[in-house]
Structure formats: C-alpha cells, structure tokens
Structure 1
Amino acid sequence: MQRKRIAIIGAGPSGMAALRAFKSAERGGTDVPDVVCYEKQDDWGGQWNFSWRTGTDRYGEPVHSSMYRNLWSNGPKEALEFAEYTFDQHFGRPISSYPPREVLWDYINGRAVESDVKDAVLFAHAVRRVEFDSESERFTVTVDDLRHKATITEVFDEVIVATGHFSFPNVPDFEGIGTFPGEVIHAHEFRGAERFAGQRLLLIGGSYSAEDIGIQSHKMGARQVTMSYRTQPQGFAWPDGVDEVPEVARFDGSVAHFVDGTSREFDAVVLCTGYLHHYPFLPHESRIDSPNNLYPDGLYRGVTWQKNPRLHYLGAQDQWFTFNMFDAQAWFVRDLILGRFALPDADERQAHIDEWKSAYAEVATDEAAVRFQADYIRDLIEQTDYPMFDLDEVVATFLAWKADKKVDILTYRDKAYPSVMTGTMATVHHTAWMDELDDSRERYLSTQLDADEASEPVS
C-alpha cells in the first residue's frame, strides 16, 4: 500500500510543531507518512525569523515576519514553554521570564534541530496553489522554487496550513491621512524604535502591538507617545510622555483630530490595526474568513476544515497560549492523519463546532478568555500522547502577568515565575528591562559580572 503524503505549508512555530509531532511518532516506532514542508523564507522560525527587510524579500515575495529588532517577550516564557522540550533542557540553567527575540528564536530552533527534521523542509519554496480533486480525494500543490526559478507540482493526501495569520496587515483608511507629511507605517513594517527618538509618535490601535511599540519607543527616547483606541483604553498607569486618546476622526497635515474634539501634532504614525487571515494559495471555499478570535468558524476542534477534513490549519486562533498550543494542535492533527481515532461524520463535527462556539460566545473577560483557551488545549491533549501539563497553573501565570502590568507597565518584564514544566524558578535578568539597551543573545546570557564590565566606560 502506498504511503500517504502530507504537505505542511510554513515552517514557523506551527509548522515546526507538526514536523516534531510526526518525528515523535516515528521515534516511537510508528510508520509515518512522507512529510514535505514548504517554507518561502530561507530559514525556519516564521515570525521569529527576523528580517531587516520590509515590503518584499530578496525574491520579491511579501516579507512574512512582523518581528522587530528590539522585541522582548511581552508574556512570561513559562506560559509558552514546550511540555517536552523545556528551557532548562535547552539552556542548561535558569534564565529570566522575559527573554529577548534572539533568545526565544534560539529556543524554538534548538528543539527543531534536536528533532532532526530540517531535511523535510524545502526552503525558499513558495506555495502558489492548492487544488483538491474530489474524485481522487487528493491535493495538487503547485510551488515555486524561488532560488532556482522553477515551478513544481506535487500530489498529497492531506495538507496542513501552518502559515500563521499575523503577516498580512489590516490597513484601514483615515480621512486626510494622505496629507500627513511624516512617516506612516503599519506595525508589520516596524523594525526598531530608535528611529522615533525625539519624535511625537501616534500609534493607532489599542492592543498589544500599540502597547509594546509605544513602550519600546518611550524607552528609546521618543518625545511623546500617544495611542489612539477605538473601543476602550488599555488603562495602564502610563509614564510621563505616554498616554491614550480616543479614535482618530481625521488628519489635517501633521495634525490628528480625535473624536472627542481634541487634536495634536505628530511627526510619525504607526498603524497597530491588526492582521487579516490571508491564504491566497487556497481556493476561496477553503479559506478561513473570520475575525481574529479564539475559535474561528469552520474548523472542527479548531484545526480541521469542516468542508474538507483532509485540510487542516494550525495556529489560526487568536492567542494567549502559543507554542504549546501549536503542539497540542499538531499532535491532534497527526493522530487524525495516522488514523489513531475515527473522524466523526459532518453532522457530529458541526455539532462539536457549535458547542464550542456557544461556549466562546459567553467569554466576556480576559480571564475567561485565557481559561477558554486552556480548556481547548486540554481537550486536544487528552486525546493524544502529548505530555499533559498543568494548564491551570499556566492560567495563573497569565493572570499574574496581567496584574503585574497593571501595577507598572515599565517593570513587569523584571518579574520572575516558576516553570510549569520543571518547577525551576526563573532568574531576574542582570539589568532592568528599561535600562537594557543590548538585546543580543550574548548579552542576555552573560553573567552579572560580565554585564557590569560591559557597561563600564572605556578609559
């Protein structure tokens, strides 16, 4: 009997989770399908594969990553830790709860390297079309090999879409914004806050991107940071030089007018207005068409396309949990493909979707949202051999993080939490986050003595 062939589209954290899941089954003695992963970037890591480029990459493809140079984790690493590859295992010693970008990339790369799955990834391969033939019940996948300028076509039994949904910016229009003489970019194009030193910066948006880019810009010397919200303010105790105002009504040159009748002059604008589900390689009937929420419509158990259960999505949800949720989803999809449990019929699947959508409709607070996603992950893990971990303790870590931010938005990254997986208490970074201007892995992993010596003036 011919082995199944599985296509994974994207080698970011979700695609890497799928590769790890199949490798785990293979190491356990299971005969697994042939797996091919297509990644349009030159390396894996998805958003965590930082590029200085914006707009288009070296091949003329839209730049995928929205990562910026001086990003530090804005949530505790203890909430995203892999259950079967811990921070202790990777670094060999405790580290702080809020690592910078390079350190988190090193962690996810380390697990993928340990999995020995890189030979399953075809880099610089952009998927152009995925077509399903209902007669043969197989997919034809058309891919451009960007390095060799060749188009290839392959046939697969099932497809896993792991491209994420934080790379195609939502760019609304504002009356008069074309008259603004300064820089206007989307958060997708933001690469570093130093560029706004001494400037009056307007961030349009009231969520995590606005919060983090705003505080980063304040840290790097912006003259004034103003965040414009549409529904409600974030409500933190902002430091002097940072504040929130209601929605923008219109622009008149460098002046922004707000719906409360106030106005201010700005030097630059960053649109922190979110992202759209965008799957141009899929036919419209196979694409998620949903706002960014915790339970997108059309997905059985949040992963399998109801209209065609041979098509699966990983990481399509809005996210409190990240890496370990992608694992839970990947292990479930893997076991479904391996036939370790039977797929219910369409009516049963729809009833399951409706049940979870009904539960999601009752979610009214951040705490309820975190618990909803924890319950979702628990439901997936209970059906696979992925190591169960204390999801309630992760919820507690999330809630403590939220409380720390309310106390002081500038110092919450200096807090430490214990690992849910190992119990190891995180260290406190040798330098307070507001004072730490070197985001490199080398600086971060240096000792206090090393850090002190590095900060001494040269005589």
Structure 2
Amino acid sequence: MMKTVGIIGAGAAGLCGARHALAAADLTPIIWEQSSRVGGTWVYTQELGKDKYGLPIHSSMYKNLKTNLPKEAMAFPDFPFPKGEESFIHHTEVRSYLESYCDHFNIKPCIKFRHHVEEVSPVMREEGPPAWNVTVKDLENNVSSTATCDALLICNGHYSVPRVPYVKNIDSFMGRKIHSHDYREPLPYKDNTVVILGAAASGLDICLEISGVAKKVYLSHNQPVNHPSEFPANVQQVRGVVEATENGFNLGDGSHIEADVIMFCTGYEFSFPFLTKECGITVEDNVVKPLYKHLIHSTYPSMAFIGIPFLVCPFPLFDFQVQFFLRSVRGLIHLPSKREMDEHTHKELEEKCNDGKPVKYFHKFGSLQWVYNNELACLGGISPLPPVVEKIYEAVSNLRRTHLMEYKTSSYKILGPDVYRRLK
C-alpha cells in the first residue's frame, strides 16, 4: 500500500527525507517549503525581521560565513561535494551543493514552494500509529488547504528562533542589542567596542570577523577555562555578563566593561509552532520530548524530527536518521514498545546527567555522534560511514581549539575508507 510522507521544510534534512522516500517504491513524499528555493538555513538574505508575507526571516546565515567543517566530512554519504582545493567552503557553495543534490535525485517536483505550514494534528486510526492532517497556506494566493499524510518528517531547522538569556537591567543599556540571527556583516561595528556573549561556534566565528573592524571585542562566556587558541590583539576573553548598566556590563567575576554593542551568540530554541497540543510534543530545558533516539515520537511513531542533535556533522546524521525512520514506516524494522522506547531515553538522559552534563545538553553529541550513527546503521540495516569521516572531524576539532585563526586554511583529501591526508 502506497504511503504519503509529508515533509516540513526543503533544507538539507527535508531534501534528504524526500531523496530516500523517492527511492522506496511504496512511499510518496511531499515537501512544504515557505521560501522560493531549497537550502533552508543555507539560503542567505540581507533581510532582517520579517519577509513580505509577515513571516520571520528563517536563515541566520551571514555574508562571509565559511563552513567550520571541511566538505570531506560534511557530505551526504551517497553524494560527495565537487572536488576542489578548499575544504572549508563559502555558504554559497553549500547551497549550490544542496541544489545539485535536489536536481540529481529529482526532488523538485515533490516540493510546494511558498507554502507555509500552519497546523499539524494527529488523525487516530483503529490500528497502528496515526496519520497527520497538515494545514498549509499557499502564500501566493493566501489560500489554506489540508493534506493527510501517513507519516511526517519535521525538518523545519533549528537555527531560526533566537535564544536570548536573561540579563539583569538589560533595558538600561543604551547601546545596540542584537542576536547573531540578525548579524550579516562586520562593517556596522567599525570602531565599536563589542561584547560577544557566547563562545560556541557562531560566537567564535563572529568574534574573529568583527575584530577586523572593531575597536575592541570582549568574548564573554562562562566556560570553565578560556579558549586555548590565540586571538587577535583587540580580542579579550572575559567572564559571562550578569548585569547591564547604561554604558556597559558587570561580569561574573565582579569586573565591569564598557561597550557600544552586545551581540547574543547564545543559540536557538527548538520551535514547532505548527504542532497542536494533541501532537503531544513538548520542549523542556532544551529537550524535545518524547523522542526515541532523539528522532522518533515514541507515542506516535509515524512522526520524526530530523536534526535535533547538535555539535555534529549534520548531513551524514540526517541521512542515517531519515533512513532509519523510513524503514520503520515501511515495516522493514520494528520499533520497541512505547514503554521500552521511553525507558531507553530516560536511561540515556540519566547517564548523561550522572556524567555531569546539564539536562539542556541532552541533544549535544560531539564525539557521541559516531556511536549514534553506527547504532542507527546497525538497527536499520544501513551501510555505516567510513571511519575516515570521524578521523577528519576529530582532527579538525582539535585544530580548531588550538589554532582558531588558521584552521580553515587547511585542506583535506580522503585516500581510503579510513585514511586521509592533510594537505596544508
């Protein structure tokens, strides 16, 4: 029996979902994408705020961004990036890669562009998991319609709804306040003193970029130790901001700094505004519940969320998640009972907390992604990633920690399933 697989979003995760659904003789994918092109967060725009339809700007891409992973570790397992000397590539090349992926697997006929998903609700059946009613607005003619899907992939991305932490008296600060979601280029910060709050990937990258034009950059964070890499002379690492004043900020160590701008590089919220409460999904302490293997709705296993784990090689992880879920939808693999799935998740959460990790980092993987990918591959009968991908990823992670300003000048070449060469 042919099954319809609904897919929300035509970014990398949604395209991957359609690619594997199309490869199955018994699945028909349909993608709803609110923009006019594929690529999701990789589609750069100068726009801020809301688009012409009144919808929030989705992408957080900035003008000069280059990947912080080499393309040799980024690619979908069945679709390598084009050959070239550079490993760390401009965001436009990633978007072109996704467009080529879309064309190669003939995905575009499945996509309804300029369609905004308004509401998703379950349709209970006498047996088995529910179907899903998906109400979508055609933005061009302002008409809404509802489709019913046998399974649903949530691929709306997780880098579009800014997380802004509480800072005491922030309204008293007379300078500019901005989240990295609205950062596009460094020139507006020329000769300013800028506080970058947060020292994860975007904070470090934007800090380096702004330092080229700013008078002074304070990299403010609460990590146990300072980042070990060398920084430009006008960058200073300081403790986290705890309180704003009219002309600056008080820090966690009791010191005070003056500033013209504070930029929140503090991450993003998991957000699914289209899901009705009947869908039974909650987000608590940055944990999406109830998900089995960070992926499948344990109560309604005909729904899956692609790309919840972070600090990963995203495209390969999407590929394993999509294949695992679609094989369960097709009955090729059988999931445990809801009780067993929830017990598995609870045990994993408990183990991470016992290791000293805060609950909010439950979906943070890093080196854990390789075990996760291999588990999905083993359970789903999927070909695993060659070990060379992990080797390159870990080598780059180590280089980034110690040589933040230079690591993107290196290039990598894969020589075999577990062998690579760093070219420079």
Please, what TM-score do these two structures have when normalized by structure 1? 0.84
Determine if the alignment matches structure 1 residue 170 to structure 2 residue 163: yes
Q: CA separation of 1:67/1:363 partners in 2, compared to 1, >3 Å: closer, same or farther?
A: farther
Q: CA separation of 1:288/1:14 partners in 2, compared to 1, >3 Å: closer, same or farther?
A: farther
- Which of 44, 67, 82 aligns to 1:73? It is 67
Cα distance, 1:141 vs structure 2: 1.1
Q: CA separation of 1:34/1:155 partners in 2, compared to 1, >3 Å: closer, same or farther?
A: same
The aligned counterpart of 2:376 is 380
Q: How does 1:406-421 map to 2 (within 5 A)?
A: 406-419=401-414
The aligned counterpart of 2:281 is 287
Could you tell me which amino acid in structure 2 is paired with residue 309 of structure 1?
P
The aligned counterpart of 2:178 is 185
Size of the aligned set, in residue pairs, is 413
Determine if the alignment matches structure 1 residue 85 to structure 2 residue 75: no
The aligned counterpart of 1:55 is 49
Cα displacement string for residues 289-344 of structure 1 (whole angstroms, at most 9, x for unaligned residues): 14457xx5421122110121111110011232211100110111111112212232
Q: How does 1:30-429 map to 2 (within 5 A)?
A: 31-87=25-81, 91=82, 93-135=83-125, 137-219=130-212, 221-232=213-224, 233-284=226-277, 285-292=279-286, 296-361=288-353, 369-384=365-380, 386-391=382-387, 393-419=388-414
Cα displacement string for residues 166-202 of structure 1 (whole angstroms, at most 9, x for unaligned residues): 2111122322322323221111111112221221111
Matched-pair contact (CA < 8 Å) for 2:248–2:257: yes
Unaligned runs of 5+ residues in structure 2 are none
Instruction: Indicate the SS of the match to 1:418.
Output: strand
Q: Aligned equivalents of 2:5 and 2:104: distance in 1?
A: 21
Q: Aligned equivalents of 1:160 and 1:266: distance in 2?
A: 44
Q: Aligned equivalents of 1:138 and 1:47: distance in 2?
A: 28
Could you tell me which amino acid in structure 1 is paired with residue 20 of structure 2?
A
Matched-pair contact (CA < 8 Å) for 1:83–1:388: no
Cα displacement string for residues 342-389 of structure 1 (whole angstroms, at most 9, x for unaligned residues): 2322223223334443554466699x9433211101111234465422
Could you tell me which amino acid in structure 2 is paired with residue 259 of structure 1?
G
Cα distance, 1:408 vs structure 2: 2.1
Could you tell me which amino acid in structure 2 is paired with residue 409 of structure 1?
L
Cα displacement string for residues 213-241 of structure 1 (whole angstroms, at most 9, x for unaligned residues): 1011123x222111111343434322211
Matched-pair contact (CA < 8 Å) for 1:13–1:323: yes
Cα distance, 1:69 vs structure 2: 0.8
Instruction: Indicate the SS of the match to 2:349.
Output: helix
Determine if the alignment matches structure 1 residue 14 to structure 2 residue 18: no
Q: Aligned equivalents of 2:412 and 2:237: distance in 1?
A: 30
Q: CA separation of 1:374/1:288 partners in 2, compared to 1, >3 Å: closer, same or farther?
A: farther
Please, what TM-score do these two structures have when normalized by structure 2? 0.90
Unaligned runs of 5+ residues in structure 1 are 26-30, 429-459
* Structural RMSD (CA): 2.4
Matched-pair contact (CA < 8 Å) for 2:13–2:315: yes
Q: Aligned equivalents of 2:381 and 2:274: distance in 1?
A: 32
Q: Aligned equivalents of 1:193 and 1:316: distance in 2?
A: 30
Could you tell me which amino acid in structure 2 is paired with residue 357 of structure 1?
L
